[in-house]
Chains A and B, each alone.
Chain A
Amino acid sequence: LAKTTQPISMDSYEGQEVNITCSHNNIATNDYITWYQQFPSQGPRFIIQGYKTKVTNEVASLFIPADRKSSTLSLPRVSLSDTAVYYCLVVLWDSSYKLIFGSGTRLLVRP
C-alpha cells in the first residue's frame, strides 16, 4: 500500500534549525514534492516544492535524495510563529495515481 510517513511531532527552540522528513515509497516518477504549513482553524499554506536535489526559497529549503523516496523540509532559525503542522503532498502510485497528504508533523517551537 502506497503511503507517506512523517514524524508525529517535533519540539524545538527559537533560533534553531528544524528538519522534517517525509517518506514516500511509491511516488509518481515525474511529479513534484510539495510542503504545506497549517495553523489551527486555517487551511494549509504552500511553503516550498521541488523535484530533485535541493531547493531553497526565502522561508525554507527542501532536500530530495536521488531515489526520491523521501524529502526533508528544513526550516532555518525557527520562531514561535513557526509552531504549526507541516505536511508533504505527493502523488503516489497504488494501482492508480493518488494525490495524498503526508500524515503531518506537529512542530512546537519553545522560547
Chain B
Amino acid sequence: DTEVTQTPKHLVMGMTNKKSLKCEQHMGHRAMYWYKQKAKKPPELMFVYSYEKLSINESVPSRFSPECPNSSLLNLHLHALQPEDSALYLCASSQEPSEGYFSAKNIQYFGAGTRLSVL
C-alpha cells in the first residue's frame, strides 16, 4: 500500500473559521510533510515531522498549526486564514531522514491534496 490519504478533498472557509486538514499513511514511514502549492507553481515546503516530532518549520505563519498525533496521522489546523492562503495543500510521507536534514533521496509519496478556498 503506497497510498497517502488526505481529507477533505475540498474546503471552503471564512477568515474567522477554524478547520483542520487530515493526512494518513500506513506505509510505516516516519517522516511526514506539509506543502502548499499555488496554481502553476511548485509545491513549497511548510513543515516536516520526523518520528512524530516537528523537525522543520519553514517560517510558516502561526495561523497554520501542524500536529502529528501518531506515526500514521498528520493534521494541519487552520485558524484566521487570509484569502492569499487559498491553495492546494499537499501531504507527503517518506522513510526517515538521513544526515541531519531532509534528503531529496528520501522518496516522498504524496496525497492528492486538499484544495482550500478562503473567503
Q: Which residues of A contact B (CB under 8 A)?
A: 28, 30-34, 36, 41-46, 49, 87, 89-91, 97-104
CA distance A103 to B37 in the complex (A): 12
Contacts of A32 in B (CB 8 A): 103-105
| Contact present for B101 and A97 (CB under 8 Å) | yes
* A43-B90, A104-B42 known; A31-B108 Cβ under 8 A: no
Instruction: Return the 6 tightest CB-CB contacts between A and B, nearest first.
Output: A43-B110, A101-B42, A32-B105, A97-B101, A34-B104, A89-B104
Q: At the interface, yes or no: B102 with Cβ under 8 Å from chain A?
A: yes
| Contact present for B101 and A91 (CB under 8 Å) | yes
Contacts of A43 in B (CB 8 A): 4, 90-92, 110-113
Name the distance in Å between A7's Cβ and chain B's nearest Cβ. 14
| Contact present for A102 and B103 (CB under 8 Å) | no
| Contact present for A42 and B105 (CB under 8 Å) | no
A-B contact pairs, 20 of them (CB 8 A): A31-B104, A32-B104, A32-B105, A33-B104, A34-B105, A34-B107, A41-B113, A41-B115, A42-B112, A43-B91, A43-B113, A46-B107, A49-B107, A89-B108, A90-B104, A91-B103, A97-B101, A99-B48, A99-B101, A100-B45
As a 0/1 sequence over residues 25 to 42 of chain B, the CB contacts with chain A under 8 angstroms (1 = contact) are 000000000000000011
| Contact present for A103 and B42 (CB under 8 Å) | yes
| Total CB contacts across the A-B interface at under 8 A | 63
| Contact present for A44 and B43 (CB under 8 Å) | yes
Contacts A49-B107, A103-B42 aside, 9 further interface pairs with beta carbons under 8 A come to A31-B104, A32-B103, A32-B105, A34-B105, A42-B110, A45-B110, A91-B101, A91-B103, A104-B42
Interface residues of B in 86-109 (CB under 8 A from A): 90-92, 99, 101-105, 107-109
